[in-house]
């Protein structure tokens, strides 16, 4: 007897998680760089995917000295549906805040969600 779940059961789990455990929405942003004519470029962030079901959880906070001033640094875990395309080159917009993606958790095809580690911009 196999303990593996079927593809249909996995799909149902993913649907259930999205409906129950991902109560918020966020936007995934990508950058476009335009040459400025002087050897540099201007970066513009635009929405690549809007209204992604998500959950944002604080995981750590610390203070550090930067340029002789105390700077607060906090990290967050973003959870999104497994089918979501998300890369470390993106940013996340959640409510009034924007976050850089500083890491992605390894996730296999059997997972029901994907996770990313974020820092506020």
| Structural domain includes residue 18 | yes
| Structural domain includes residue 59 | yes
The total number of structural domains in the chain stands at 1
Q: Convert the pLDDT of each residue in 24-80 to its tens digit.
A: 999 999 999 999 889 898 999 999 999 999 999 999 766 666 667 666 678 999 999
| Structural domain includes residue 2 | no
Binned at pLDDT 50, 70 and 90, residue 91 comes out as: very high
Residue 83's CATH number: 2.40.10.370
**108 pLDDT above the threshold of 80:** no
| Structural domain includes residue 103 | yes
Mean pLDDT of 12-20: 81
| Structural domain includes residue 1 | no
Q: Which domain range does residue 32 map to?
A: 7-120
Mean pLDDT of 92-104: 97
Cβ 47 vs Cβ 85: under 8 Å: no
| Structural domain includes residue 16 | yes
| Structural domain includes residue 36 | yes
| Rounded alpha-carbon distances, angstroms, from residue 117 to 6, 9, 42, 65 | 30, 28, 26, 22
Pairing of strands 69-81, 113-120: antiparallel
Rounded Cα distance between 41 and 38, Å, is 8
pTM for the full predicted model: 0.79
């Amino acid at each position: 007897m196999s303990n593996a779940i079927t593809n249909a059961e996995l799909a149902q789990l993913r649907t259930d998680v999205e409906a129950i455990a991902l109560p918020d929405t966020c936007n995934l942003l990508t950058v476009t760089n335009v040459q400025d004519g002087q050897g540099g470029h201007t970066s513009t962030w635009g929405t690549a995917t809007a209204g992604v079901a998500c959950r944002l959880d604080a995981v750590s906070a610390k203070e550090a000295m930067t340029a002789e001033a105390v700077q607060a640094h906090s990290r967050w875990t973003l959870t999104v549906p497994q089918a979501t395309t998300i890369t470390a080159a993106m940013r996340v917009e959640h409510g009034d805040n924007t976050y850089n993606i500083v890491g992605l958790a390894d996730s296999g095809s059997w997972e029901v969600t994907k996770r990313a580690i974020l820092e506020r911009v």
